[in-house]
Structure 1
């Protein structure tokens, strides 16, 4: 595999130096930008596989940097946020960030998040799933994209068309956190969500059909204050 290059956009030198050190231990190449302008300039002049982006950046803030990057690329963006930045966190995910991590954080957790995002982007494909793939399998659940069939524990589960599209979107983007607005935009193909309960109702119905315990879901998990994500162990035997 070719060299993996990561852009770290963080104005705190202590944090950025540690991130760079830990990423380079994983044999990733890492560049550091100390403000939003420099981050955009570096991204324009180089080829990166992932961006670690702090929300509180001088000159151009992280939200605007995220918006501009997402207009030109689909590389994974991992946001760094403070605990009191929930509204910015939701906004960042809504305009295209792939995941977030809250300060203070452990470097091990950041590296784990980076690896998960890179795996989805580089191995499963830039759209979250290889184009030729028609079957997505996790331990205990499989989704046949061609036949529109779902099996849980070997038993076929009957889903409505919208429930299937929702599950298909989730399993195609494992570990990625989505807001209700993002899910509505992608699954219902609309930017305007008329009823805020639409997504929650469909997720509740989907959980009842695929989860052993819908109140304690194994796959479709709630990320409190943000939205939802799909978590599952890939079935490597398939």
Structure 2
């Protein structure tokens, strides 16, 4: 799924992009309302996240135009605290309204709810319970570690795409992780022992992937 984030604060765009990309979403960003609309009409967008106060066109005007021309979900971000502002945003068609400051994980959860994202992932013989942080195979809990769980989720969210060790470190261990890239190999080996050797493919000298087709 493709998410458009429009906010005039560069740090906010960078942080939100990182959080959503970690969850496997494609992300485009815009620094103002006019740029947001240009991207919306050019790309296939599933959810638009708009800051209320932006240059050129504010979030409400962008939301109004998007809702007049499509049925795509729109989430408004604002530092405004008055209840009337929330009513105004919802009245013009916004599907959700979040006040700043907020934790990015809260925004991701609200976005997933708007998109109807399932909390249970299935891939071939395994089932992933994202709420319970568990992976099971043929009904048996595989007792994976937190890192193994995140690694499997990451590979499945990006199925069909080869992820390098560096990408996996950023997506699973975090942007601030400092350590040897070979730790990825160790965790992949241990994960394979639990989920099966055939699920995760090694691309020598590049990285790892799972197949795009899960039949």
1:67 aligned partner: 64
Residue 167 of structure 2 aligns with which residue?
none
Superposed counterparts of 1:30-69, under 5 Å: 30-69=27-66
Structure 1 stretches of 5 or more lacking a match?
123-238
- Please state if 1:82 is matched with 2:76: no
Residues 40-66 of structure 1 deviation map (CA, whole Å, 9 limit, x = unaligned): 000010100000011001000111101
Gaps of 5+ in 2: 119-215
TM-score (norm 2): 0.53
Q: Which residue of 2 aligns with 1:105?
A: 102
**In the alignment, which residue of structure 1 is the partner of 2:13?**
16
SS class of match (2:114): helix
Cα-to-partner distance string for 1:176-214 (whole Å, 9 max, x where unaligned):
xxxxxxxxxxxxxxxxxxxxxxxxxxxxxxxxxxxxxxx
Report if aligned partners of 2:81, 2:99 keep a CA contact under 8 Å in 1: no
Counterpart contact for 1:63–1:88, Cα < 8 Å: no
Aligned residues: 118
Match of 2:203 in 1: none
3-state SS of paired residue (1:52): strand
For 1:48-197, list aligned pairs within 5 A: 48-119=45-116
Deviation per residue, 1:8-50 (Å, 9 max, x gap) = 0111111111100000000000000000000000001010000
Pairwise CA distance, 1:85: 4.7
Instruction: Tell me the SS of whatever aligns to 1:17.
Output: helix
Task: Tell me how far apart the structure 1 counterparts of residues 84 and 95 of structure 2 sit (CA, whole Å).
Answer: 16
Query: Deviating runs (4+, > 2 A) in structure 1?
Result: 83-89
Contact 2:5 2:29 in 1 (8 A): yes
d(CA) in 2 for partners of 1:55, 1:18: 18
In structure 2, distance between residues paired with 1:38 and 1:83: 23
Q: Secondary structure at the match of 1:71?
A: helix
Query: Residue 83 of structure 1: CA displacement?
Result: 3.7
For 2:69 and 2:13, locate their aligned partners in 1 and report how far apart those are by CA, in whole Å: 24
Which structure has the larger Rg? 2
State the TM-score, normalizing by the size of structure 1: 0.48
What is the CA deviation profile of residues 146-174 of structure 1, one whole-angstrom value per residue up to 9, with x for unaligned ones? Answer: xxxxxxxxxxxxxxxxxxxxxxxxxxxxx
SS at match of 2:81: coil
Q: What is the CA–CA distance in structure 1 between the aligned matches of 2:77 and 2:36, rounded to whole Å?
A: 14
Offset of residue 89 of structure 1? 2.3
